[in-house]
Amino acid sequence: MPIVPNTGSMVISAVKAELAAYYTPPAIATVLTDWAVTSTECSVFDPSFGGCAFIYGALASLQRLGASRPGQQIYGVDIDGDAQQHLKPVLDAGGSLSQFPVADFFSLPRNRPPWTEFDAIVGNPPYIRHHSLSHQQRDAAVKAVESIGAKLSGRSS
C-alpha cells in the first residue's frame, strides 16, 4: 500500500505561516529520500517533519530496501504539536512517538543518543526571517552553529 503524506491544506493559517509550515510535494520528497537512504541499516532524521513527506519517503525507501523494522530507524522533530498526528504509518512500522518530539530543533540534546548521529538528514526546514526569530531562538541557533566551528551573520535566517 503506498504511503501518501499529508501535504497540508491549500489555505495556510496564520499560525502555520508563522511556523513557515509550507510542505514539500511527496514526489520531490520521495526522490530525495531514495537518494539519501542507501541501506537497510540507514538511520534518518528530519529536523522539521511537519506534514511528514520526508518521513514517509524515508519509510518507503527503507521498506523497498528490505528493512525489517523501518519505523525504528526514522527520527524527527517539529515545533508544531499537530505534526505528530501524521505519524501513524511510521508508528505502525515499529516507530515510537519518543522518536518525534514536539520541540524546537535547537533544543534537542545533540550530545546524547539518539540525537548525536544519523546516516541521512532529509527534509525541508522552515525558512523564518531573522527578524521574526526571538532572542532565545537566535541565541540557540548561534550556539549550535558555533559548536561545529562555524559562524552566522546577524542577518542569517
Instruction: Please tell me the pTM assigned to this model.
Output: 0.74
- Express each pLDDT in 2-30 by its tens digit: 454 444 443 345 444 454 455 688 899 99
Q: Please say whether the beta carbons of 83 and 102 come within 8 A.
A: yes
Q: How many CB atoms lie within 10 A of CB 145?
A: 14
d(CA 65, CA 128): 35
Strands of 44-46's sheet in order across: 74-76, 44-46, 120-121
Name the helix (H) or strand (E) containing 121: strand 120-121
